[in-house]
Copies of this chain bind each other. A is one copy, B any other.
Amino acid sequence: MKIIVQKYGGSSVADTQKIKAIARKISDRLDGGNKIVVVVSAMGKTTDGLVRLAKEISAEPDPRELDMLLTTGEQVTAALLSMALRGSGIGSVSLNAYQAGITTTKEFNEARIKNFKKDKIFKFLETNDVLVVTGFQGVTDDGELTTLGRGGSDTSAVALSAALKADCEIYSDVDGIYTADPKIHPAAKKIKYITYDEMLELASTGAKVLHSRCVEIAKKHRINIYCASTFSDSEGSYVVENTIDQPVVTGLSVMENQTQVTITNLELDYSLVKTIFEDAAREHLNVDMISIINTGDTLNISFTIIEEKKKHIDASLKKMLKHLKGWNVNYHSGYAKISVVGVGMKSSYGVATRFFGALGDTPIRLVTTSEIKISCLLEDRYKEKAIKSLIAEFKL
């Protein structure tokens, strides 16, 4: 018995016609004696609609109740898809987080999957050819409903693949992974094979195809992910452990709405650095592109956050550093972060030279690098030109 895990995103299940089309697609895949475990998102803009209802009730909806609300979205899709499959004579059953035994940690709105009750899943597979599981959600050991946050359904699918030791196919309205966002840069090319590490860098630097949490799990459990379009037969992209004949740079990603936070003239005490970033983590503020300069008698710290968190970090910094004198903080918004990623960088020289060469005289505000990535921060108005030059330079 070969098990395949498939995941269908919100736009793929936006209406009942599409759900019926997916039922046919699944039915075709059963022919070889496969069993299919399908993970579904909420239909179209359902989750947005539910969030809007919550905001009508309260500007800051209670996180526990928000998860009770949001988890209904995927259950609707799962029930309808299983209904369509049963209507075509296929043995199918829809399962919510309780029924599938998806246990998570206790953080509402951003829980992490701890475990799948595999026995339950295998038991259901004995009597059914297809299981339709609600993505994006789980249940704590206390029976509380949780959601996994952004990209949660992808994470559900890959975690399920890991538990069942099955390949994972992720279907959406995008037909694969591209060297740059094809909606903005039509010249971008589809990547056939990409490594986990490259995909992780691309995902964490702004590419929206797969969420980094889901790639992390795939990497840990060596699950091959296939990303393709739901309603097209064109071949998609594979996320795998190793690729042969690796280009130096595989892809480019862009993250907008960046604010640069610069703290200057801070007293020379490195424990302050620890305090600042620990506090940011506790407040769930994602800081990025950290750069620290020791001027000899003071510390200058610079990092980026997304624009909407500016007030939040400002309040946090002022509270934390209020007993100190002489320091300053300033904020520059309207920046974009551009990253190029490729495992080939590890074994190639001169990538940085080519990178900065392509950018020419564009004023760069911050630079960070990893073994397989170079990122730079620049004003929005220089973004388009910079991306074009990098795509040309690295033949993306």
Spell out A's residues near B (CB within 8 Å).
16-17, 19-20, 50, 53-54, 56-58, 61-62, 64-66, 68-69, 71-72, 75-76, 78-80, 82-84, 86-87, 93-94, 96, 98-99, 143-145
Q: By the criterion CB–CB under 8 Å, are B65 and A82 in contact?
A: yes
CB distance from A105 to the nearest CB of B (A): 18
Q: Please name 29 pairs of A and B residues whose Cβ atoms are closer than 8 Å in the assembled complex, sorted by A.
A: A16-B56, A17-B56, A20-B57, A50-B76, A53-B80, A54-B80, A54-B83, A58-B83, A58-B84, A58-B86, A58-B87, A61-B87, A62-B82, A62-B83, A62-B87, A65-B82, A65-B86, A68-B75, A68-B78, A68-B82, A68-B94, A68-B96, A69-B80, A69-B83, A72-B75, A96-B145, A98-B98, A98-B143, A99-B143
Q: Is the CB of A65 within 8 A of B94?
A: yes
Inter-chain CA distance A78–B54, complex, in Å, is 12
Known: A62-B82, A72-B75. A57 touches B98 (CB 8 A): no
Report chain B residues within 8 Å CB of A76. 50, 53, 69, 72
Instruction: Point out the residue from B57, B78, B94, B145 that lies within 8 Å of A80, measured CB to CB.
Output: B57
**Cβ–Cβ < 8 Å partners of A86 in chain B:** 58, 62, 65
CA distance A72 to B97 in the complex (A): 13
Q: For residue A99, which residue of chain B has the nearest CB?
A: B143
Q: How far is the CA of A180 from the CA of B65 in the complex (A)?
A: 41
Given A54-B83, A57-B80, A80-B53: A93 and B64 interface contact (C-beta under 8 Å) = yes
Nearest first, the 4 closest Cβ-Cβ pairs linking A and B are A68-B79, A69-B79, A72-B72, A16-B56
Whether B99 lies near A57 (C-beta < 8 A) is: no
Could you tell me the distance in whole angstroms from the C-beta of A299 to the nearest C-beta in chain B?
Answer: 42
Provide the bound-state CA to CA distance between A150 and B53, in Å: 27
The residue in A54, A66, A79, A82 that gathers the most chain B C-beta atoms within 10 A of its C-beta is A79
Question: Shortest CB–CB separation between residue A142 and chain B, in angstroms?
Answer: 9
Give Cα distance in the complex from A84 to B87, angstroms.
39
Q: Which residue of B lies closest to A67 (CB)?
A: B79
A5 to chain B, nearest CB (A): 20
Residues of B within 8 A of A93 (CB): 64
Q: Nearest chain B CB to A236's CB is how many angstroms away?
A: 27
